[in-house]
Structure formats: structure tokens, C-alpha cells
Structure 1
């Protein structure tokens, strides 16, 4: 369930405008690192 959410979030973020991704680049990286870390 965690992995699916992680992929879905990345896909939706990637689909969104690049401006949002650039602005949320820092938080996205932090969230991505936290998701796989929690799964492990």
C-alpha cells in the first residue's frame, strides 16, 4: 500500500506543472526518502 501511494504521488506530481515540482523539489525529495524508509 505504501509503495502504490508513493508511485501515485510521484506520477501526479510529475503530471502537474513543472513549476510546482521545482518549488516542491525539496519537500518532494524529503517525502520520497521518508516513504521508502518507512516501508523498509
Structure 2
């Protein structure tokens, strides 16, 4: 069984923060994206 090294940084916390921000921005931009698609598709 592999030992756990405390000196190795864990990037999962930062990853979840970045993923949360991406989802938040994506959900905010969704109506704009739908409007642009409707304009270009007639």
C-alpha cells in the first residue's frame, strides 16, 4: 500500500473552486448564448 506524503500539495481544493467559477459564469452567460444562437439561426 502506498504511503501518504504530506509534502505533496493537494490541488483538489483549487480545482473545485475553479470548476465552480466556470459553472457560475457559464450559467450566467447561458441566456446570452441562447439569444445569439436564435439571432443567427433566424
Q: Could you say which structure has the greater relative contact order, defined with CA pairs below 8 angstroms and 6 or more residues apart?
A: 1
State the TM-score, normalized to the length of structure 2.
0.40
TM-score of the superposed pair, with normalisation by structure 1: 0.42
